Each structure stands twice: as structure tokens, then as C-alpha cells.
């Protein structure tokens, strides 16, 4: 017997998706929570559908060949999502990402090339965009501004054009270091000396917050490639000024943000600490107040 043959078509204020699937691949606790939340918030239509009409929720990931981006792609696929991986270099993507996976589509998307091209790449079937881009150091001192500020703004504009209502940004702790009394923090100085990187990110954050899109801005501490050694600590904006976290955990927070309505319209700062208690994402996101 199939797990379920009822598809609930939902237009809720958080995700504004056209449909949520309730099938074998999508019966994780998070998806169940998501579905029940959708019902709570007022599902509009419920109708019976056959198995064949099931389609997976598709997420567009910008910066998908990056060290965090590729982990986000992997975790989304593992959770049963379809992924449109936005990349600058298709050849690199083929070697970085598991391109044999039928749920993965790789598409060229340079965030500096403007919102029209990005809107084309996002298409009309992506329900959320996750931005994991970051400028690559080089001779162009304006690169942080072009990628981390204007590039992200372009992505938000592309979402508007495609009516994508959900946006997850990987930003950084200390972006607002100047207001936190951290002007002399070596990390704040270092990251701004080359192209005002943190200032560029803050500008993009402010644009997102004013855009009306349902956002979760994730500000991690220093990123590590090694597996997690502690539990996630989540704090409100402008709180953390030191600490680090595994990119695996950053990717997890980004993916979980898609499932938890408590993550909506929030800026969260994250690091990991071995002595921190393990908390559910419901609890973590729920503990941060919207501003």
C-alpha cells in the first residue's frame, strides 16, 4: 500500500510553495512538521492525486561548487529534495558534485551577471534559493563587493522575478562588528582590509531584510572542513565575535531552515562547542527572536 495518496496543496505565508509532497522520500520528522504546520496555517486545497503526479521540492543553490555549497547540495539530495545547482564552472561542477544523481540539475549561474540571467537559471520550478557564494580572492579588490554584496542583491531580485519566496543566505559573524564594538577585532580588520568583505555582506543582508522575502540569514563563525566536534550554538544577530563551526553543520542549519517555520525572517549566528548541549532545530530557531 502506498504511504499516502493525498497531496495537500498549500499556500502558506512562510513557504508559499505550490505543493508539498507527502511520500516515502519526504516523511522525515521535519517534513511531517512542515506539513502539519502548513495545515495549521491554513491549507487552502486538499485533493487526491496519484503517485505519478508527485514531484520533489526543488531548491536552487548558488555557489554550489563551494566548500559549504556542495555540502548543502549533498544534504538536500539526501533529504529527498531536488536541487538546481547554480555554478560558475560546469566542468568543475561535474567533478565536485554527484552529477549522476537524477535529482540534481547543474546550471550556469554567475551572480555578477545580473538578475535576468539568474532568474533564467532559477526557473519557475525552484521554491527556495540558498546562497552559499563568496568571492574568490584574487587581484580584483572589488570582488567582495561584486559577489558578496551586488551578487546577492542580484539573486534576491531574481527571486522577485520568479516569485520565489524563500531565501537562505550564508553570511558571517562579525558582519556588523563596527556596531558591536569589535572594530579592533583582528578578524574584523583582516576580513575588511581586503575589499571590505564584511561590510559588503552586511549591505546584502540589509537589502534582503528590506526586500520582503522570507529570509533566514545564517552567520557562521570560522568555517572548518572537518566533521563536527561539538553541538551547534545558535545566537541572535550581533552576539558572537569568535568561534568556529564545521561546514557540515552550516549546511545542516541551512537545510533545516527550510523545514522550520521558526527560522523565518531571522538572522542567526552559529558556532559549535564541544560542551554545548545538543538541542533540536525547533528549539534552536525558536529561541531566536525576530527583529
Ligand X SMILES: NC(=O)c1ccc[n+]([C@@H]2O[C@H](COP(=O)([O-])OP(=O)(O)OC[C@H]3O[C@@H](n4cnc5c(N)ncnc54)[C@H](OP(=O)(O)O)[C@@H]3O)[C@@H](O)[C@H]2O)c1
Count other C-beta atoms under 10 Å from residue 3's C-beta.
11
Interaction residues for ligand X, span 153-212 (CB under 6 A): 170, 172
**Span interacting with ligand X, options 22-30, 85-93, 160-168, 267-275, rule CB under 6 A:** 85-93
Nearer to ligand X, 10 or 132 (CB): 132
Query: Considering only residues 119, 192, 204, 220, which one is a binding residue for ligand X as defined by CB under 6 A?
Result: 220
Q: Which one of 6-14, 99-107, 218-226, 267-275 is the stretch in contact with ligand X (CB under 6 A)?
A: 218-226
Full DSSP string of 167-236: EEEE--TTTTTTTTT-TT-HHHHHHHHTT-HHHHHHHHHHHHHHH--EEEEEEESEEESSPP-SEEEEEE
| Closer CB to ligand X, 21 or 115, in the complex | 115
**136 touches ligand X by CB under 6 A:** yes
Q: Give the C-alpha separation, 263 to 281, whole Å.
A: 9
| Cell numbers describing residue 235 | 545566537
12, 17, 126, 133: residue in contact with ligand X (rule CB under 6 A): 133
The reply on whether position 261 binds ligand X by CB under 6 A is: no
Q: Which residues contact 228 (CB under 8 A, 6 or more apart)?
A: 245, 246, 248, 249, 272
Q: How far is the C-alpha of 10 from the C-alpha of 18, rounded, in Å?
A: 6
Retrieve residue 195's grid coordinates.
575589499
Closest approach of Cβ 250 to ligand X, in Å?
7
- The residue within the footprint of ligand X, chosen from 141, 222, 229, 276 (CB under 6 A), is 222
For β-strands 128-131 and 222-224, DSSP reports them as unpaired
* Choices 41-49, 114-122, 216-224, 279-287 (CB under 6 A): range interacting with ligand X: 216-224
Report the residue number, 136 or 291, with the smaller CB distance to ligand X: 136
Task: Identify which of residues 151 and 195 has a Cβ nearer to ligand X in the complex.
Answer: 151
Q: Which of 58, 63, 192, 240 binds ligand X (CB under 6 A)?
A: 63
Would you count residue 97 as binding ligand X (CB under 6 A)? Answer: no
**CA-wise closest residue to 221 among 143, 180, 150, 273:** 273
* Residue 65 engages ligand X in binding (rule: CB under 6 A): yes
Q: What whole-number distance in Å separates Cα of residue 149 and Cα of residue 195?
A: 11
Of 23, 25, 27, 67, the one binding ligand X (CB under 6 A) is 67
Name the residues that contact ligand X, by CB under 6 A: 63, 65-69, 88-89, 92, 110-112, 132-136, 147, 151, 170, 172, 220, 222-223, 247
Amino acid at each position: 500500500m502506498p504511504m499516502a495518496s493525498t497531496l495537500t496543496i498549500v499556500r502558506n505565508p512562510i513557504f508559499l510553495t505550490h505543493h508539498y509532497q507527502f511520500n516515502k522520500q519526504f516523511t522525515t520528522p521535519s517534513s511531517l512538521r512542515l506539513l502539519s504546520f502548513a495545515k495549521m496555517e491554513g491549507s487552502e486545497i486538499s485533493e487526491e492525486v496519484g503517485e505519478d503526479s508527485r514531484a520533489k521540492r526543488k531548491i536552487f543553490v548558488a555557489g554550489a561548487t563551494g566548500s559549504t555549497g556542495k555540502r548543502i547540495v549533498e544534504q538536500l539530495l539526501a533529504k529527498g529534495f531536488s536541487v538546481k545547482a547554480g555554478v560558475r564552472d560546469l566542468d568543475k561542477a561535474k567533478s565536485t558534485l554527484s552529477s549522476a544523481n537524477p535529482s540534481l540539475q547543474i546550471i550556469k549561474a554567475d551572480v555578477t551577471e545580473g538578475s535576468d540571467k539568474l532568474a533564467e537559471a532559477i526557473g519557475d520550478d525552484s521554491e527556495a534559493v540558498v546562497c552559499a557564494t563568496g568571492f574568490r580572492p584574487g587581484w580584483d579588490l572589488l570582488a567582495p563587493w561584486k559577489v558578496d554584496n551586488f551578487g546577492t542583491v542580484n539573486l534576491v531580485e531574481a527571486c522577485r522575478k520568479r516569485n520565489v519566496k524563500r531565501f537562505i543566505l550564508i553570511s558571517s559573524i562579525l558582519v556588523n562588528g563596527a556596531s558591536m564594538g569589535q572594530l579592533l577585532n583582528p578578524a574584523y580588520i583582516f576580513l575588511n582590509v581586503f575589499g571590505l568583505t564584511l561590510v559588503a555582506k552586511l549591505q546584502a543582508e540589509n537589502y534582503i531584510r528590506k526586500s520582503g522575502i522570507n529570509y533566514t540569514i545564517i552567520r557562521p563563525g570560522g568555517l572548518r572542513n572537518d566533521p563536527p566536534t561539538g553541538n551547534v550554538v545558535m545566537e541572535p544577530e550581533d552576539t558572537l565575535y569568535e568561534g568556529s563551526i564545521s561546514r557540515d553543520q552550516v549546511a545542516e542549519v541551512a537545510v533545516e531552515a527550510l523545514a522550520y517555520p521558526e527560522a523565518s525572517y531571522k538572522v542567526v549566528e552559529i558556532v559549535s562547542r564541544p560542551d554545548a548541549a545538543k538541542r533540536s532545530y525547533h528549539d534552536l530557531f525558536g529561541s531566536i527572536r525576530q527583529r
